[in-house]
Amino acid sequence: MLNYHSIGVEPGNTYVLHPDMLARQMDYLAAHHYTPLTLGDFARIIEKKQPSPERPVLLTFDDGYANNAEVAMPILQRHGFPATLFLSPGFIGQPGYLSWPQVKELSAAGWDIAPHSMTHPHLPQLSIEQQREEITESRRRIEQALGRSADVFAYPFGEYNEDTLKILKNEAFRYAFTTKEGDASPNQSPYELSRIVVLGEDDFATWVQKLSNFGKKELKVPT
Ligand SMILES: [Zn+2]
């Protein structure tokens, strides 16, 4: 599972990846026969309800930057690649962030839209009631806007505590993604799935290295 944030030209910002680099990475995935998955494929594969392709990969984009629709979507579309957007609906309409029509455009282009809290707080610093509100309201807004279930979560900043896990379980979320790198094991909790964060300063060789580590380990998640 690869994790992206903003796609644009902003040297020095580690969470902004240059569009040319994203294009090169997507070309590489296509040339090396990787199969980007929808969130539904991903769930069915780890639940063993669907066979895994040889080289599966889940492309995830966090937060809801407008450039995900304006820049990333066309690059992925060249290859027919789906992706997953973990969206904080509280950002919608703010400068630099997606609008609801753009979110719907991504959805129509085969992107899964999933919740990432309302306002992107540090969840462990909140009361359990505040956490529940952040999590369930983000889900509700997305489900209401798109008319489909959005029961996979990604933690803002990758941070969570026991309360967060309790809420996800009570609210019947299926999976949740951290930003923890590596150490995926067959015993990994469905609420503690790792991702590989793609950083703006990674050169191409570093990215290929991260990807090949992922190929070896990450696909065993979880049983
Ligand atoms: Zn985020």
How far does the centroid of ligand 1 lie from the alpha carbon of residue 123, in Å?
Answer: 12
Q: Which long-range contacts (CB under 8 A, 24 or more apart) does 144-149 make?
A: 145/100, 145/103, 145/104, 146/103, 146/104, 146/107, 146/113
Three-class secondary structure assignment of 125-160: HCCHHHHHHHHHHHHHHHHHHHCCCCCEEECHHHCC
Q: What is the distance, to the nearest Å, from the Cα of residue 34 to the centroid of all Cα atoms in its chain?
A: 17
- Give the model's pLDDT for residue 223: 33
How far does the centroid of ligand 1 lie from the alpha carbon of residue 4, in Å?
Answer: 10
How far does the centroid of ligand 1 lie from the alpha carbon of residue 150, in Å?
Answer: 17
How far does the centroid of ligand 1 lie from the alpha carbon of residue 120, in Å?
Answer: 6
pLDDT for residue 3 is more than 60:
yes
The half-sphere exposure of 147 on its side-chain side, counting CA atoms within 13 A, is 2
How far does the centroid of ligand 1 lie from the alpha carbon of residue 157, in Å?
Answer: 6
DSSP letter, residue 54: S
How far does the centroid of ligand 1 lie from the alpha carbon of residue 158, in Å?
Answer: 8
- Residues 59-90 pLDDT 10s: 999 999 999 999 999 999 999 999 999 999 99
- Give the model's pLDDT for residue 11: 86
Residue 212: pLDDT band (50, 70, 90) is confident
How far does the centroid of ligand 1 lie from the alpha carbon of residue 45, in Å?
Answer: 25
Instruction: Report helix, strand or coil for 184.
Output: coil
How far does the centroid of ligand 1 lie from the alpha carbon of residue 62, in Å?
Answer: 5
How far does the centroid of ligand 1 lie from the alpha carbon of residue 59, in Å?
Answer: 14
Q: In order of start, what are the domains of the chain with their CATH numbers?
A: 2-220 (3.20.20.370)
- Residues 108-164 pLDDT 10s: 999 999 999 999 999 999 999 999 999 999 999 999 999 999 999 999 999 999 999
- Give the model's pLDDT for residue 182: 59
Contact predicate 84/60, CB 8 Å: yes
How far does the centroid of ligand 1 lie from the alpha carbon of residue 51, in Å?
Answer: 30
* Rounded CA separation 117/56 (Å): 27
How far does the centroid of ligand 1 lie from the alpha carbon of residue 42, in Å?
Answer: 20
How far does the centroid of ligand 1 lie from the alpha carbon of residue 218, in Å?
Answer: 21
